[in-house]
Structure 1
Amino acid sequence: MTFLILMFAHLLADYPLQGEFLANFKGKNFIVLFSHAGIWTGCIAVAGYLIGFDVGYLDVALLFSVHTIADYLKAANKLWYKKLDSLKGGLLSDQLIHVGQILLFIAMNAG
């Protein structure tokens, strides 16, 4: 159930809570990018806290920084994203990174 709760928080934060403005400008403006990554990190961290994780600064720093880098690379079409269709391989790559973040978050807080 832990994974499902965190995935639901991820989907809320990465889709409806992102909105069109953030999606369109996060690759062009760092304030917009940091705002989206902050919303996403907050949703994941709060969900983790509510299910009993002892969420710490390292959790927040890793969630925020990895999400920021991954979303910037995708939105700005950098590195491997240049070779991928943004709605197919690019989206899959981006989402696999975020799922990996969630699995790492769970692993860091298991026990």
Structure 2
Amino acid sequence: MKRRMIAAMMLIALPASAQAMTVAQFLAKANALKAKGFLAIGSPDIKLLRAEVQSVADAYRADLTAARQAGRTPHSCPPPKGKAKLGANEVMAEFNAIPTAQRGMSVKTAFYAMMKKRFPCKG
């Protein structure tokens, strides 16, 4: 009983950023910022969305490196870092293309699927 209580308290203490953001949450925040126009500049949600994508992109690159180092075929085969041009508009278009019923998936899952579709490994 005591262990369960401690575990529950630890989960409550985790920052919100430690929890996986869903595509639906991401799009809701992004669309709300877009609706604010210029006034969105001061919103903390801009940093939150950027941090989410950066975290996912970093994990993605680390997973690719780990697969290559282990001699496994990587998840996908993007060009070297800095060569793959993928902007915010492209990410938003990919996320918006996900059917509403499937937007409960994490941003990480959606990002990985997008990268696999855009940069499949040949052979």
Fold match, TM over 0.5?
A: no
Q: What is the TM-score with the length of structure 1 in the denominator?
A: 0.42
Greater Rg over alpha carbons, structure: 2
Report the TM-score when normalising by structure 2: 0.39
